[in-house]
Amino acid sequence: MKNYWTNLNESNNFESVPSNRDDDASAHDLNTLEIIADEKFSKSLSSRRDFLKFCGFGVSAALLASCESPVQYAIPLVLKPEEIIPGIANHYASTYFDGSQYCSILVKVRDGRPIKIEGNELSKITKGGTNAQVQAAVLNLYDSERLAYPTIKGEKSTWEEIHSQIIAHFKAAADKGDKIVIISSPIISPSVLKALTTFKEQYPTTEVIYYEPVSFSGTINANLNSFGKAVVPSYYFNKTNLIVSFSADFLGTWLSPVEFTKQYSEARALNKENPTMTRHIQLEAGFSLTGSNADKRIRVNPMEEGSLVLALYNKIAHKSGNPTLPELKTKVDISSIADELWENKGKSLVVAGSNDVDIQTLVNGINKFLDNYGNTIDLNTPYFTKKASEDDMERIVNEMNTGKVGVVLLNEVNPIYDYPYPKKIIAALKNVDFTGIIADRITETTLHVNYILPPDNFLESWGDFEPKKGSYSFSQPTISKLFDTYSFLDCLLKWTANEKTSYEYIKSNWEETLFPLQENYKDFDEFWAYTLQAGIFNLKVEKGKDDGKKTTQPPIPDINAALIKSARKITKKIYRGKIAIEMIPNIAIGDGTHANNPWLQELPDPVTKLTWDNVASVSIKYAQNNNIKTGQFITINDIKIPALVQPGQEDNTISIALGYGRKNVGKVGNNVGTNVYPFVQFVDGVKIYHTSTDKITISSEEYVLALNQTHDLMEGRSIIRETYIQQYHKNPASGNEEREEILKESTSLYPAAVFSGHHWGMSIDLNACTGCNSCVVACQAENNVAVVGKEQVINRRLMHWIRLDRYYAGDKENPEMVQMPIMCQQCNSAPCENVCPVAATMRSSEGINQMAYNRCIGTRYCMNNCPYKMRRFNWFQYAKNNEFDFNMNSDLGRMVLNPDVVVRSRGVVEKCSFCTQRIQEKKLTAKLEDRLLKDGEIQTACSQACSANAIVFGDLNDSESEVSKRFKNPRHYHLLEQLHTQPVVGYQTKVRNNNSEDTKKEIL
Amino acid sequence: MNSKKFILGIFKEEDLMIKAIKKIREKEIKIEEVFMPYPVHGIEDIAGLHKTRLMGAAVLFGIFGTALVFYFLYWVTVESYPLIYGGKPLYTLPSHVVITFVLMINITSGLSVISFFIANKFYPGKKADLIHPGVVDDTFVVAINKPEAEDEVQIIMNIFSTNGATEVTEKFVK
Amino acid sequence: MFYESPIRDPYIIGKKSYHQISNEILEPIDRKHNRWWYFILYLSIIAMSIGGYSLYKTFTVGIGSWGLNNSVSWGWDIINFVWWIGIGHAGTAFSIFLLVLRQKWRTSINRSAEAMTIFAVVCAGLYPMVHMGRIWLCFYIFPYPNTRGPLWLNFNSPLFWDVVAISTYVLASATFWYLGMLPDFALIKERVKSKVSKFIYGTLSLGWNASSRNWNRFEAISYILGGLAAALVISVHSIVSMDFATSVIPGWHTTIFPPFFVVGAIFSGFSMVLTLVIIMRKAYHLQDYITTSHIDAITRVLIFISLIMGTAYLTELFMSWYSGNGFEIFTFYKNRATGDYSIAFWLMILFNAILPQLFWSKRMRSNLTLVFIISLCVNVGMWLERFIIVVTSLSKDYLPSNWATYTPSYIEVGIFVGTLGFFVFGLCLFLRFLPVIAVAEVKSVNNRTTEIQEH
């Protein structure tokens, strides 16, 4: 059971607990979390917020002082707040929203410091899932590049000063009738929106427009044209039997990856209840994470995508007896897909990642004729996370040039980096007499803006969110402000002369708007406390609609008009060049907002395995024709970028990740990779993330890429065992036959080890794992794993305790890809243990392969003798070393370290410990509560972070535990089990849902 | 050799010396000591001199060493600080054989050398009392306790000189 | 026992009086040394300081200053360790096997061979120490009573077996070497003029009076130490080989390793002896003592051993194929014979198995320059063998995702240069101040052409 308050009965024993409790963590202190919960029910939250002040003061003091002597680090708990027991973590429900991606989270707070982000299982949307970016977000809080104070024209200033000046400017502009423009990243906070409306009332000339680097305006417009609703609808991948995705990377970066990963794994889970699995067909150019999970992947040139969608549309239209439209002939034969879709009418889903209005319109048509609306798509609970409209942006920029704009306020946007034509913006900004920006750091844009207003980090401020219609969630401060910052809401309140703090404002707003809409609670404070502790709130009325039953059928005529228009546009589309350039956000850096986060920079891309860089992926054939080698520089429209030969890449497409090449983001992210936003082009008012060119020159210049895996083939070794759904139905053990033989032959000199108490084990379902890498970052955050930097990654010294191995199989041009997360396998007869001369690593009584860091002398023999090579050596001193100037080198950055896990010094070997600190914590809790551990109570960082439920951790001695059930499953096997290392980490065979004609495959 | 008078037969050739020694032994005269620049094999048989028991001692040392190491390993791995390595039982004989063997050698050689020093009364800086400066270079010396009877002395001296001793002297050694 | 050849070349050429022998052999100790000696000495000192700097770097920066990575975490450190140990086997092999086999012709060579052993083993011993990530805790490696439990050691670890074996080996062979020199020290003391030298050599001689009791015990102890050290020679390199043989890594996990390593060690050792002896006898005009027949004898041994080496290589290849184990087959055929390091592999075959076969012809054997060159080649070849074993197996083992290549950093090279320097430095001093040939023993074989018949 997680340490946050799910059990509402706990409220009753609140009074019984004395308020002046002793400090030591005695038995009932362990239950403090309930107390915190109960704390909410008291009339005010002041005491907790006081604590945050105290500890914040201490921390800031610690930071400001140049700390020679450790005493300066001490946090003075003059009045010890009730819910804080030193050494015991609290979890606060909160919300992560970075302008593009939403996730409902829990923040683990130790001694006043948020140190880890975990998924909130109560959320109806993300269901406790997280991904790499969300996991890494906690480090953004401790980014030493954050602005500590507001500035005017580069001069340090005070908020009073800033506010007075800004208000003056607002007034002046309003009086002159000049426009006040707020260019903002998507705002999904009801309270902020409310504040904005009041702001507009005060300053009528205000216009708020939304800007996103990766835009969805195509989808929004398409839905407007088709159904008269300018929205991004909800998708339900879990209700599908067949998913057809046109280059939509919905498991990685598209719209709401965490949510979709949850749905996807649910839809593809293989078990007794659900012996079938959803089939997934991906049509794309670059090899995406989603494509790597597809059962069938068809390479499509972005330039052809339109006509392909059109062809599919016609097939479906024909089947459904609708008029077909004139189409172009396409290389790919789409008919089989059309048939499959038609078979799964109403249980299928077609999505397109393109921002092209026409493609989206046709996809709407397809889904409509497949009668997916109301089943797998729901227009009535749209997302609010995507709002940008390129038209507005362009219009505003022009208006700025005409000088009709008096004030421009940019809210957490960075157009001068990620707008295709930054020069236009720079020029426009010059014509505005007041330019302000809300930005947490010096960015490319802030350099051209006079007023810089640093905002709170989302872990420091109050906020409410409505990512989807009817689903609400909170963010609450988990630490007092580290710097002199101001949240956007607070600013708005100041500017509208509202005396309330953001907290009070949100609370009152909820009291007015949402409290009346629910029946559960009579008393608002009760309602408030409960929702706050749960972190989420869903409107009942909306719940009914979630299944999409009451969907109003969209009006037929106008969609047909739209379809015809789109079809004509697609057929007329002409491309200048032969080679398509495709810009795609990758799972680590995304649109580039978090480019200064070392954890994300060092996260190997699931497909290319590249860290600290973005590359131009070219297909094998293209590389051969132009003899390009990996690492060789190519120049595309005078942008120079290293190439990487990528199997499965479409032959005439070059795919490049967005978000790199930041010039001003911080010492970690500056000048990492190449910025390709300039390639983004506008086609009838929307950004199109692919272009075409012939201006490609190959230079002989070589460049070393920081790849974490250089060999892509399994060499015919049975490392990842897979089968096909038909075989699986015939024999669940198919693909796993050799296990039987190995077990028959395996024998030992010594009697098998027995574990009387617990015997911890882990099972990883290769069928569920999507390779999203969130486990890697979660592990890094939990276990204080060091960041080693580009140079050391090139030297193959990456420190991660979990590695995702990626192998290609099948056709060289368009291979199948398999992913396998590998951590220390905790072998029962571990080769590493036998060879350590100083007994630094040995077997625990619960079957864990222990590592005694302070005994290790670093002979590295264990590393050599580990067949999985999952041991890591501290080649250098990684903490407090200017050579490795990442988070562990600054007082601020080190605040993220988990106090339960030692920071390893130079010269010792480290490795996965099965999160032994978590095991101990839960064991202790159970002991003090005098009960047995429940299965699933203990979660390792990786199993907890896995949105796909691929990783399960538990007790192998408990025959009822999920993990022992999986060990009994015929799909279960161990990695390299023929070596008789007897690991306790098990794997489940991968099952591909392929038609028989796809099942021919040979080792590449 | 406690302090007494010696008759020294000094030779330059190994073979001559051996011949002389054989002659003297025929007369049942006890030879006290023979000094040589290099080891002449079997000389102690010919001259009937004391033979060392170092070899025997070494064997005992070896047995002692083996037993010691075996017990030590057992005590450490099972009694003093038991730990599980690689799923093996606490006491794993096969992996102890090597250490036992090598340490046995270590102990044996160590003890033998020590006893070698003790037997020879060797120690750094000991004043080497060479009976004749040549014995380390190119001279063989046969030392015989000078008997009281003059005629015996004569016999010995004759044997020496007739058998090619380059020089025959008397020496008082304390 | 060894056969008695009716007509055998004399161990020592020309009729020499014992005194003459003493003079000729100990002559270097008396006279001033020429500038060549000083040149080489300074050279070795420079090399040592390079090594010193590299070590300083390693200790201050960390093992990260080497070229190793998470897949290949042993490199030149262990390669050179094994190589030096191998060379260190020559001396003991020489004096002990030949002592036990009563091969009189060893007498002119064993002293310098043993000296070589000592310095080589010291060089070798350096590596396991400096390759530790935390060298300041290297004392953890010894089983001493401590306050940590007392936490002793993991006696299953071949690395600990190494520690025991190597330290024993150093002790034993050093003692053997020193005791062997006792009579010569006594002799030198008589010869040298200056008071200081008299005192030093006198102290070293521990009061040796050439009595038969002394000689008797002297021979006894040399047989005891000899016998034990003979067992050591076999065991030490077997144990070193177990570092690899007891692991699970393909190409390491091989039962042939112990004998294979021992033979290889003696191979490299003998060839190193050859290299040095050829230089020494020229530099110090010891042609009469280290005769062409000695060199001839060593080359014959080399032929024999190189045949064994060739067989071993073939056996490895065969077994890996015969085992039918995919990983083994990959390691030997795809990775060693044809992989990234195939050049090293084939050079190794050439140097170790093929080149020495030239010695079948008498003309080749008697051509000293050729012998010299081949002896160097064998040294290189043996180094390559260790490189192949250590690096190829690690660089491409079980999971292809781990596969990584390894190239040494200049720091590692520097340390190797340093050890070479130390080796040469040690030998220079040895040649200058110690009896390069066991005088007493040489005298015992003076003008003899056959074994003496007492036993």
H or E element at residue A972: strand A972-974
A907 and C134 within 8 Å at the Cβ level: the answer is yes
Nearest by Cα to C218 from A924, A457, A565, B136: B136
Which residue of B lies nearest to C170 if distances are taken between CA atoms? B106
Helices (H), C131-249: 158-191, 195-205, 212-245
What's the pLDDT score for residue B171? 76
What's the pLDDT score for residue B56? 87
Give the residue carrying structure tokens 């379809």.
A563
Residues of chain C short of pLDDT 70, as ranges, are: 1-18, 28-33, 99-108, 445-455
In a domain, B83, yes or no: yes
Determine the average pLDDT of the residues in A680-684: 86
Question: CA C370 → CA C278, C308, C373, C375, distances in Å?
Answer: 11, 22, 5, 8
Name every chain B residue with its beta carbon within 8 A of the beta carbon of C212.
33-36, 43-44, 47, 49
Neighbours of A544 (CB within 10 A): 11
- pTM, full prediction: 0.87
Q: Percent of chain A scored above 70 by pLDDT? A: 89
Q: Which chains touch A (3 or more CB pairs under 8 A)?
A: B, C
In a domain, B49, yes or no: no
CB C162 within 8 A of CB C112: no
Q: Which of B14, B25, B88, B98 to mutate to test the interface with C (most CBs of C within 10 A)?
A: B98
What's the pLDDT score for residue B68? 92
CB A129 within 8 A of CB A237: no
CB A130 within 8 A of CB A778: yes
In a domain, B132, yes or no: no
In a domain, B124, yes or no: no
CB C187 within 8 A of CB B136: yes
In a domain, B43, yes or no: no
pLDDT band at residue A14, thresholds of 50, 70 and 90?
very low
Point out the residue among B35, B38, B73 whose CB comes nearest to the CB of C440: B38
What's the pLDDT score for residue C53? 95
pLDDT band at residue A54, thresholds of 50, 70 and 90?
low
Q: Which of A712, A803, A849, A875 to mutate to test the interface with C (most CBs of C within 10 A)?
A: A875
In a domain, B12, yes or no: yes
B92 and A982 within 8 Å at the Cβ level: the answer is no
CB A83 within 8 A of CB A54: no
In a domain, B159, yes or no: yes
Determine the average pLDDT of the residues in A81-87: 74
Q: Which chains touch B (3 or more CB pairs under 8 A)?
A: A, C
B41 in contact with chain C, both atoms CB, cutoff 8 A: yes
What's the pLDDT score for residue A73? 52
> Which domain, by its residues, includes B109?
54-119
DSSP state of A421: -
Q: Return all residues near A161 (Cβ < 8 A) that are at least 6 apart.
A: A150, A152
In a domain, B109, yes or no: yes
User: Hey, is C316 helix, strand or coil?
Assistant: helix
What's the pLDDT score for residue B10? 80
Give φ, ψ of A97 to 5 degrees. Answer: -145, 115
Question: CA A245 → CA A36, A281, A311, A587, distances in Å?
Answer: 45, 6, 15, 18
Determine the average pLDDT of the residues in A556-573: 75
Which residue of C lies nearest to A875 if distances are taken between CA atoms? C64
CB A130 within 8 A of CB A120: no
Does pLDDT of A725 surpass 70?
yes
Question: What's chain A's average pLDDT?
Answer: 85
More confident residue, B11 or A46: B11
pLDDT band at residue B169, thresholds of 50, 70 and 90?
confident
pLDDT band at residue A20, thresholds of 50, 70 and 90?
very low
Point out the residue among A836, A839, A843 whose CB comes nearest to the CB of B87: A843
Which residues, listed in sequence order, are joined to residue A635 by a DSSP beta bridge? A640, A697
pLDDT band at residue A955, thresholds of 50, 70 and 90?
very high
Name every chain C residue with its beta carbon within 8 A of the beta carbon of B78.
none
C150 and B101 within 8 Å at the Cβ level: the answer is no
Find out whether the peptide bond into A983 is cis, omega within 30 degrees of 0: no
Q: Which of A750, A835, A862, A984 to mutate to test the interface with B (most CBs of B within 10 A)?
A: A750
pLDDT band at residue A37, thresholds of 50, 70 and 90?
very low
Name every chain A residue with its beta carbon within 8 A of the beta carbon of C403.
710-711
Q: CA–CA separation, A107 vs A138, rounded Å?
A: 9
Q: What is the pLDDT of residues B10-57, one digit of tens each?
A: 877 777 777 778 877 777 777 777 887 777 777 777 777 777 788 888
Concatenated DSSP letters for A146-184? S--S-EETTEE--HHHHHHHHHHHHHHHHHHT-EEEEEE
Residues in chain C: 455
Q: Report the CATH number at residue B146.
A: 3.30.70.120
**b/e burial code for range A695-713 (CB count within 10 A of at least 16 → b):** ebebeeeeeebbbbbeebe
Q: How far is C148 from chain A (nearest CA, A)?
A: 10
The domain locations on chain C are: 18-144+151-454
User: Hey, is A916 helix, strand or coil?
Assistant: helix
Which residue of B lies nearest to A828 if distances are taken between CA atoms? B87
A753 in contact with chain B, both atoms CB, cutoff 8 A: yes
Residues in chain B: 174
Q: CA–CA separation, A875 vs A884, rounded Å?
A: 12
Which residues, listed in sequence order, are joined to residue A722 by a DSSP beta bridge? A990
Q: CA–CA separation, C455 vs C440, rounded Å?
A: 20
Q: How many domains does chain B have?
A: 2
What's the pLDDT score for residue A75? 53
Neighbours of A174 (CB within 10 A): 18
- The predicted complex's ipTM stands at 0.88
Name every chain A residue with its beta carbon within 8 A of the beta carbon of C77.
none
Residues 211-230 of chain C with CB under 8 A from chain B are 211-221, 223-225, 228-229
DSSP state of C211: B
Does pLDDT of A749 surpass 60?
yes
What's the pLDDT score for residue A38? 46
Neighbours of A785 (CB within 10 A): 26
Determine the average pLDDT of the residues in A204-217: 90
pLDDT band at residue A47, thresholds of 50, 70 and 90?
low
Q: Which of A806, A820, A869 to mutate to test the interface with C (most CBs of C within 10 A)?
A: A869
Indicate if B25 and B73 belong to the same structural domain: no
Q: What is the pLDDT of residues A487-535, one digit of tens each?
A: 999 999 999 988 888 899 999 998 888 888 888 888 888 888 888 888 8
Torsional sign, CA C62, C67, C70, C72: negative
Determine the average pLDDT of the residues in B88-114: 89
A905 in contact with chain B, both atoms CB, cutoff 8 A: no
∠ CA C160-C161-C167, nearest 5°, is 90
Q: How far is C157 from chain A (nearest CA, A)?
A: 4
What's the pLDDT score for residue A414? 92
Which residues, listed in sequence order, are joined to residue A341 by a DSSP beta bridge? none
Name every chain C residue with its beta carbon within 8 A of the beta carbon of B124.
203-204, 206
User: Hey, is A722 helix, strand or coil?
Assistant: strand
Which residue of B lies nearest to C151 if distances are taken between CA atoms? B81
Q: Which chains touch C (3 or more CB pairs under 8 A)?
A: A, B
Torsional sign, CA A116, A119, A121, A123: positive
Q: CA–CA separation, B111 vs C219, rounded Å?
A: 16
What's the pLDDT score for residue C11? 60
Nearest by Cα to A723 from A708, A715, A733, A738: A733
**Burial label, A627 (beta-carbon count in 10 A; 0-12, 13-18, 19+):** exposed
User: Hey, what are A379's tokens?
Assistant: 């227009």
Does pLDDT of A290 surpass 70?
yes
**Burial label, A215 (beta-carbon count in 10 A; 0-12, 13-18, 19+):** buried
Q: CA–CA separation, A821 vs A1, rounded Å?
A: 25
Give the residue carrying structure tokens 């946090």.
A75
CB B50 within 8 A of CB C217: no
State which CATH number among 3.30.470.10, 3.40.50.1000, 1.20.1630.10, 1.10.10.10 fits the domain covering C18-144+151-454: 1.20.1630.10
Determine the average pLDDT of the residues in A533-545: 69
